[in-house]
Structure 1
């Protein structure tokens, strides 16, 4: 796995950045426009904000090296999904946007050593 990053970031941080790069590339390949990454406010952080037509998509990316604790997307609990929904609304308000639709997605990126990276995209969590 080449993360494309240098420096002294801990392996977990490098893995997370790599997963976000993979997810952003995937979203672009699916025809979405990535409009912002790592947006922060007092309520938390949004990994990726994208647009698909009139729909604003707030994306949480979970990256793992294995499935010892389940698939990466399983790390997003109902509570986390509700928090992501609140973050999505905060993003819309902070940017004075009026999207036709607002959606929260989760992308799980699995980076098993010696195997190709796999990705799972769950559309519309917490709706």
Structure 2
């Protein structure tokens, strides 16, 4: 994968480019499920939530889903989800509490999912060739 060159002429960080591709693919994936994405890349000084979405297909009329997106352009792990550590899941939970504190709506159900995106090694910029896996309810 070649690094894209923005208008300023500096190459984009490869890791950031891979991450952005994966997050775009994950956002499209949850959209195809009928979910509503409320936030992308929500940040505070303690970290970032990749996606915050609503799964409207639940019995309570909508579950808030905090999604960690893990993307790989190489075969470092069998599934990029293997890079999600217990510390990362705990950080997601703390960040979600902070995000929720700033919202007016209250949620009966909150779920933590991981979407792993394995980009194709030959054509990593082609989202149609990416392998997407959805891991539901990874953190209680």
Q: Same fold (TM over 0.5)?
A: yes
Q: How many residues align?
A: 126
SS in 1 for 2:132: strand
SS in 1 for 2:76: coil
Q: Match of 2:41?
A: 38
Deviations 1:18-73 (A, max 9, x none): 10000000000011111110101122100111011221111110100122244211
CA distance in 1, matches of 2:84, 2:78: 11
User: Once the 2 structures are TM-superposed, how far is the Cα of residue 6 of structure 1 from its aligned partner?
Assistant: 5.6
User: Once the 2 structures are TM-superposed, how far is the Cα of residue 100 of structure 1 from its aligned partner?
Assistant: 1.5
Runs of 4+ in 1 over 4 A off after TM superposition: none
User: Which of residues 4, 9, 14 is equivalent to 1:11?
Assistant: 14
Gaps of 5+ in 2: 57-61, 124-128
User: Which of residues 46, 49, 52 is equivalent to 1:49?
Assistant: 52
The CA RMSD over aligned residues, in Å, is: 2.1
User: Which of residues 63, 82, 86 is equivalent to 1:74?
Assistant: 82
Q: TM-score, normalised by structure 2?
A: 0.81
Gaps of 5+ in 1: none
Does 1:112 find its partner at 2:120?
A: yes
SS in 1 for 2:139: coil
Q: Match of 1:61?
A: 69
User: Which structure is larger by alpha-carbon Rg, 1 or 2?
Assistant: 2
User: Once the 2 structures are TM-superposed, how far is the Cα of residue 90 of structure 1 from its aligned partner?
Assistant: 1.3
Q: Match of 2:105?
A: 97
CA distance in 2, matches of 1:118, 1:86: 29
Q: TM-score, normalised by structure 1?
A: 0.89
